[in-house]
Amino acid sequence: MIVGAGLAGLMMGLLLDRINVPYSIYERAEEVKPLGSAMSLSVNILTLFDQLGLLDEVMKLSKPMSALDLYSPDMTKIGTIGVKDYKSIAGYPGIIFARPEFYDLLRSKIPADKVHMRKKILSIEQNHLGVMIRCSDNTTYHGDILVGADGAYSGVRQALYKTLEKKNQLPKADGEALQAGYLAMVGVSTPQDPDKYPELKDETAHFRQIVGEQRISWYAATISENRICWRLTIQLDSGDAKAQMFRNSEWGPESNASMIQEFYHLPCPFGGTMGDLIDATPQDRISLVYYEQKLFETWFDGRTCLIGDACHKMLPQGGQGAINAMQDAVILANCLYEMGEPTVENIRTAFQTYYDHRFPWAKKHVETSDMLMKLMSGQTFSERLMRNIMFNYLPSWVASRHFIKAAAYRPQASFLPQVPPRGTGEVLPQMPSKRYAAEQARAKQDKAATASSESATAV
């Protein structure tokens, strides 16, 4: 059972389909709203889409993006973050697209009868026989394994932690709230006139962010079909974060007016004002979100396991949240493929292997996302100082080396034919699969036996 029909849950279902594991997805919303702004992917997950045969479809939604440009409010360029010749090194370009369309692509790969909407999780029960979820509509469902892919305020995590807390088995840090750092408004415009925004004519996407004053920043990015993604960001101080009124990530369109007013007359990086882009975006496609972060220590217990934002909430700069969520799914799928019978012992071994592999990477990317967010949007004295040092005194090869090193981690499904390394950069070895190797050997033997039999028959 998978709880949550977001990117992590959909990727988990897509992978389970490939190993013929029966599953169902339970989503609390009545419908998943097509909200969000720009989303980027890198070689760290594009290799998996290549392996799944979905790379061409992803690329059709996208534009390649090689760099991110940073400006002051008067459009003086502060600097650029990117790697020259990234594609030749990584083998894949960095790409950017509208998040709603990417979500729709993944959703289209999941059979409709596998997804059950309006299923808010109230509690879970598990023992040596199985695991049960109880939903707010009084329905219950049973399975061998429960995967919580239901976001930063995961109902599965809360139910799991409640049980562990009663048994005095929950680390203190896991009971603490997420750290809210930024408030943002995001959207995607309708198709715009390339004569008004000439950058739309380029095959490569342009991503430009402006660091303003008084804790505000904003960006605009050109994507496919002559559209522009945008985001308005306010950095919260500790008092703002403690006084936050909303615990969920989505506000409604009626809550947007005051923030729109604050940014409306500010310059758009491509000309005109941000108000022009806001007016060019359907109101029901504009959303307000809190950007929060937290790395949880406890990812599993019994027959229940967490993936994605449910166990590591990252700030959005660099797109690592979505990438890591899908990486969780592929590593967990690999471990389940190797597991054998779903006994409590086998499940624990699979979960522990998944955790041991993924926790260090998630920790690293929580820290990296935090650093990039401070670099691109931070307004404190130390963050401005870091930005000044980064763009004026640090050699460009230092930052490039970081991105090239990060490109080496490209997890693939162990139960599918491997995609050979692309590019000139280093590639870390894949998780080996004894089961897949044995199945391939048997298939080779069966093929040879069939060929021998057919040859004998012909003689």
Domains of the chain and CATH, by start? 2-406 (3.50.50.60)
pTM: 0.91
Higher pLDDT, 157 or 246: 157
Q: Are 17 and 106 in contact (CB under 8 A)?
A: no
Stretch 378-399: mean pLDDT: 80
Tell me the C-alpha distance between 347 and 265, whole Å: 56
**Residue 323 backbone dihedrals phi, psi, to 5 degrees:** -60, -45
pLDDT above 90 (res 439): no
> For the segment 31-73, what is each residue's pLDDT rounded down to a tens digit?
877 677 889 999 999 999 999 999 999 999 999 997 889 999 9
Task: Reply yes or no on whether the pLDDT at 450 is more than 80.
Answer: no
Question: Residues 274, 210: contact at Cβ < 8 Å?
Answer: no
Query: What is the pLDDT, as a whole number, of residue 252?
Result: 46
According to DSSP, residue 172 is labeled: G
Across the chain, what does the average pLDDT equal? Answer: 90
Write out 407-449 in H/E/C secondary structure: CCCCCCCCCCCCCCCCCCCCCCCCCCCHHHHHHHHHHHHHHHH
Does the pLDDT of residue 344 top 60, yes or no? yes
pLDDT score at 80: 86
Residue from 254, 201, 258 nearest 232 by CA: 258
Q: Is 302 helix (H, G, I), strand (E, B) or coil?
A: coil
250 pLDDT higher than 50:
no
Residue 249 pLDDT: 43
- Per-residue pLDDT for 455 more than 80? no
Rounded CA gap, 285 and 34, in Å? 7
H-run or E-run covering 64: strand 63-64
Mode of pairing for the β-strands spanning 131-135 and 140-143: antiparallel
Higher pLDDT, residue 302 or 384 = 302
Q: Report residue 90: phi and psi, to 5°.
A: -85, -25
Q: Pull the structure tokens for residue 368.
A: 């990296």
225 contacts: CB under 8 Å, gap ≥ 6: 191
* Positive or negative: CA dihedral 313, 316, 320, 324: positive
Structure token digits, residue 134:
């109880």
Query: What pLDDT, on the 0 to 100 scale, is given for residue 238?
Result: 62
Q: Is the pLDDT assigned to residue 148 strictly greater than 90?
A: yes
- 68-72, 103-107, 250-254: lowest mean pLDDT where? 250-254
Bridge pairing between strands 77-82 and 67-71: antiparallel
State the sign of the Cα–Cα–Cα–Cα dihedral 423, 424, 425, 430: positive
Task: Name the strand (E) or helix (H) holding 80.
Answer: strand 77-82
- Band (pLDDT 50/70/90 cuts) for residue 458 is confident
Closest CA to 64 of 91, 113, 97, 37: 97
Q: What is the pLDDT of residues 329-343, one digit of tens each?
A: 999 999 999 999 999
Instruction: List C-alpha distances in Å: 157 to 93, 242, 361.
Output: 35, 22, 20
Crossing angle of helices 381-392 and 344-377, rounded to 10°: 80
Burial of 299: CB neighbours in 10 Å, binned 0-12, 13-18, 19+: buried
Phi, psi of 218 (to 5 degrees): -160, 155
Using DSSP, state whether 21 is helix, strand or coil: coil
Q: What angle do CA 387, 391, 394 make, to 5 degrees?
A: 105
Report residue 230 as tokens: 């945008």
User: Which percentage of the chain shows pLDDT scores above 90?
Assistant: 66
Q: Give the model's pLDDT for residue 201.
A: 95
Token reading at 12: 């988990």
Start-end of H helices in 203-319: 238-242, 257-263, 274-279
Cβ(95)–Cβ(46) below 8 Å: yes
Lowest mean per-residue pLDDT among 110-124, 201-215, 244-258: 244-258
